[in-house]
Amino acid sequence: MAREAGVSTERIPQLKTLLLAAAQAAATEAGLHGNSGILADTTYGQAALNAITGQGWWIGRPVELPSSRPLRLEHGNIGSQLIDWPQEHVVKCLVFYHPQDAEALRREQDELIVDVYRGCCKSGHELLLEVILPEGHADKDESNYLQVMEHFYRLGVLPDWWKLPPLSAANWQKVGELIETHDPFCRGVLILGLDSPQETLKAGFAAAADAHWVKGFAVGRTIFGTSSRLWLQGEIDDAGLVEQVKQKYLTLIGFWRQYRPQPASKTSRS
């Protein structure tokens, strides 16, 4: 995003801190009372992580090298990473995966996911496994997500959390059945955004209204993408960024609560 705006990546840590301030303001205004959270990396978001750790927020930290396929970890061996992590931090691992991938690619990614899972089991950290169908595959049917979940369960990988795109109501029911069959102690599913428009996510929230395993949403770029670009380009100031992001987050919280009236709404992530 910084490169697209033609500015130094040195500005990103400040951006992450401002985005945290916006999320905190929205959470306070919405009365989330500990039911909010963030995803933040250590490369650019360490200051934000330091500020929010210990404050009762759900905190997810990505470990994957961005956009890597086959999957690679950004900072090397998972065990050596987790030894210094606070226990409250959740390992977030994104894998671009398709059931029709070449066998060698599937095997390579499987081995690393299993290694990450075992590392989390050993350290006691929770694992959020995010699955996105890769570009380049013509078959984008939602059933592929069910196949991928089933595949990882059969490998013995039991993520504490799943992160999946919006699905149909029928497929959310099937997701629930998979979880109940293989891991009834799973914490739940977060809906990812794929930089989708707000109205698209609203429809996704509606489809998941009766899916009790779906606990919240993690749709950062939908909330902060446009405003962050404007800030990086110098078109809005710090206060403008915080206000715009806060309002977008509040809008999505409103959509969520429209289909999950309180207190059924458990959590939302930014």
Q: What is the rounded distance in angstroms from the CA atom of residue 1 to the CA atom of residue 11?
A: 11
Residue 11 near residue 18, CB atoms below 8 Å: no
Q: Residue 213 has which token pair?
A: 């395993």
* Cβ partners under 8 Å of residue 228, min gap 6: 1, 15, 19, 241, 245
Amino acid at 189: V
The domains found in the chain, sorted by start residue, are 2-260 (3.20.20.70)
Q: Would you give the end-to-end CA distance of the chain in angstroms?
A: 17
Q: Residue 251 has which token pair?
A: 């809008």
Residue 11 near residue 241, CB atoms below 8 Å: no
Residue 239 per-residue DSSP state: H
Q: Are strands 58-62 and 89-96 parallel, antiparallel or unpaired?
A: parallel
Percent of the chain with pLDDT over 70: 97
State residue 261's pLDDT score.
81
Give the pLDDT confidence of 63-118 residue by residue, as tens digits.
999 999 999 999 999 999 999 999 999 999 999 999 999 999 999 999 999 999 99
User: pLDDT at residue 203 above 50?
Assistant: yes
Across residues 235-256, what is the average pLDDT? 98
Percent of the chain with pLDDT over 90: 92
The count of other CB atoms within 10 Å of the CB of residue 88 is 15
User: pLDDT at residue 129 above 90?
Assistant: yes
User: pLDDT at residue 255 above 70?
Assistant: yes
- pTM of the predicted model as reported, rounded to 2 decimal places: 0.94
Name 92's bridge partners: 62, 128
The phi, psi pair for 264, rounded to 5°, reads -65, -30
* Cβ partners under 8 Å of residue 97, min gap 6: 106, 109, 131, 132, 133, 134, 148
Residue 58 per-residue DSSP state: E
State residue 266's pLDDT score.
43
Nearest to 207 by CA among 191, 194, 195, 222: 191
User: pLDDT at residue 268 above 70?
Assistant: no
- What is the residue-averaged pLDDT of the chain? 95
The count of other CB atoms within 10 Å of the CB of residue 34 is 11
- Number of residues written out for the chain: 270
Q: Residue 67 has which token pair?
A: 């956009």
User: pLDDT at residue 267 above 70?
Assistant: no
Between helices 12-30 and 238-259, what is the axis angle to 10°?
40
User: pLDDT at residue 12 above 60?
Assistant: yes
